[in-house]
Every structure is written in C-alpha cells, then in structure tokens.
Amino acid sequence: MEIILKQDVLNLGYANEKVNVKPGYARNYLMPQGIAIPATESNKKILAETLKQKAHKEAKIKKSAEGISDSLKNLIVKIGAKAGESGKIYGSVNAIQVAQALKEQFDIDIDRKKIHVDHEHIKELGTFKARIHLHKDVQVEITLEVFAE
C-alpha cells in the first residue's frame, strides 16, 4: 500500500515522502496515529504542491544568504580589547563580540550562533579568521583584527 508520511519514521522514511508498506501496518498503526495518509490522487497533488512551495522558499532563503555572503566577503572586522603589554587580552573575544562589531561597523545583523571563530575564544592581539554559516550550503569566511584599546 502506498502512503505519504506526515512525519519522519525511523527505518521507513522522512516527512512528505511516498513509501510502500504493508496494508495492515498502514491501516492499523500509521494512519490512526496520524503519521501517514493514503497516497490518493488528490493527496499526491497536495504533496507535489507542498514540495514545490517548500523548494521555492528554500531557494529564496538561499538567495538571501548568498547576498549577505557577497557583502561579507573581504571585510575586515576590527575589534578593540583591553590588553596587557605582552599582547594578551584581559578576557577574550568571542562570537557575541564579533556579531556586535558587524552590527556597529557594517550594519549587518547576524545571529551569534552562526558565527564560528577558529580559536573558540581569541585571547591575544592579532588577525584571526571566523566562519559564518548563513545557510547549509552558504558559508563565508571573514577576517577579524583584534587591536588594543
């Protein structure tokens, strides 16, 4: 029996996927639990439309991420920090400070959770790299310049 899954099922398939299962499994477990619906012609058309809309939204999000990525390329973000004479910073520079610096210097608002500094916390003056994950397929690397205040 062909069914359309409404949610992910371990060892069976993912949401919005057509799968073949035994009729008893579909009628007695999957459908009463609300996990699946029968793959009738109307349900197949609804599934096709849902997948089409999902792909369109995904493409729109990816295009937006690529636009932000282009604006971030070759940027040097300057971050001031209090430091001792040896070049060691009191405290550290982390993703939160990088996000704040991007907002203040370039008016680009990026969630701190998407910023990954190469050395988890920067504890000295110098130039460092950070990666920003804007989308599962779009990543950009920026340069961080940490200077003494």
According to the CATH classification, is domain 2-62 in 3.40.5.10? yes
CA distance 58 to 40: 27
Query: pLDDT digit string (tens) for 70-105?
Result: 999 888 999 999 999 888 999 999 999 999 999 999
| Alpha helices in 12-81, H assignment, sequence order | 23-25, 41-72
Instruction: Determine the Cα–Cα distance for residues 139 and 69; give it in Å rounded to an integer.
Output: 7
Distance in angstroms (rounded) separating the CA atoms of residues 83 and 94: 15
What pLDDT is recorded for position 137?
87
Cα distance between residue 149 and residue 142, in whole Å = 21
- CA-nearest of 146, 139, 104 to 121 is 146
Q: Name the pLDDT band for 119 (thresholds 50, 70, 90).
A: confident
> Which CATH superfamily hosts domain 69-148?
Ribosomal protein L9, C-terminal domain (3.10.430.100)
| 93: its two tokens | 């520079």
Average of per-residue pLDDT across 40-61? 95
Positions of CATH 3.40.5.10 in the chain: 2-62
Delimiting residues of CATH 3.10.430.100 domain(s) in the chain: 69-148
- Does this model's pTM top 0.85? My answer is no
